[in-house]
Amino acid sequence: MTSLNLLTLPHWPCAYRSPQGNGRIRAFPSDFIVEEMLSFKPSGEGEHIFLQIQKINQNTEYVARQLARFANVRQRDIGYAGMKDRYAKTTQWFSVWLPKGEIPIWSDFCIEGVQVLSVTRHARKLKRGALACNRFVLTIREWSGDITQTLETLQALKAHGVPNYYGEQRFGREGQNVRKALAMFEGEKVPREQRSIYLSAARAFLFNCILAQRIENGSWTTGLAGDVLMLEGSQSVFACDDIDDALAQRLANYTLHPTGALYGKGDLLTQSVALQLEQNVFDAYAPLTQGLQTFGLESARRALRVNVQALTWEYDNAQATLVLAFSLPAGSYATAVLRELIAYSS
């Protein structure tokens, strides 16, 4: 790969049968509802104001900038746990560091599509990733297809989880964030606030390619020799020489998950067969890996599989709608669930 024009997002494979339905998502903001659940309860005391905000068709960074302006604080004094979809109805928390001075009247924070739902305090800034989960309610309209097979796939997702792909939101329209990352690696000047977006897109692209290979060889749930495994519900990992019976049982019980590399400086931790598979992907996209090395990101691991918690569904044949409700841990994408079910348009 020597040209930016050669890099397009591939159609990464699904884990189950090909989607047996078609439908439309985000016909209305209320068709894509996301509620953020913090991993802790704010104490009610401290120098950081915690605001629970509902937003419709507004992105997280824009709301954070407007909060900083409204409260007359620096941008770095605003905290939030994660980015949320713009074209959706989302509820998330923000923190504002106000150690002294006059407290703003938060009900006067008026932006189109934004509403402050509750206000409290906490001793520390809200950090990225400080989430228990995100809860989703998704309405798929204009449904057509084989509903029987789709419901069978839903049962499989509920029982066995889904591939933990990064969603298309991470890559920008038509994968432009990955192309912009390549341009940045080749020396193009990029605004500082955009760098992390492009770096994250490059790492996510490589991860998805690794996951695609693991789906194709059937090892995304069962593990490979030399794999790195992650404990369910944590970021703790350990390397294994081989998948023995005890590890195979824990993988089958979903208390362990195989992982894929988030490329960067440092040891990948994989060995043997798993290492060779990852290295083949990195070699195929050398301009991305070389660029990530140059920018100094540290390597990390991400689970290849994610459990879909509290998954329910309701199909209305007369209205041609399928409504899904479920929870996912921080960093996992609702579109990873949708792509296993339907070929969708927004």
One-letter amino acid at 335 equals T
Distance between CA atoms of residues 38 and 128, nearest Å: 11
Distance between CA atoms of residues 59 and 88, nearest Å: 9
- Rounded (10°) CA dihedral 7, 11, 13, 16: 160
85 counts as catalytic: yes
Q: Which of the 8 DSSP states describes residue 59?
A: -
Alpha-carbon distance values, 332 to 9, 29, 95 (Å): 19, 20, 22
In residues, how long is the chain? 346
User: Which DSSP string corresponds to 240-258?
Assistant: -SS--HHHHHHHHTTSEEE
Distance between CA atoms of residues 186 and 164, nearest Å: 30
Alpha-carbon distance values, 202 to 48, 167, 175 (Å): 33, 13, 10
Alpha-carbon distance values, 286 to 3, 94, 215, 289 (Å): 12, 38, 22, 5
- Cα-Cα end-to-end distance for the chain: 31
- Catalytic pick from 31, 85, 108, 267? 85
Residues marked as catalytic: 85
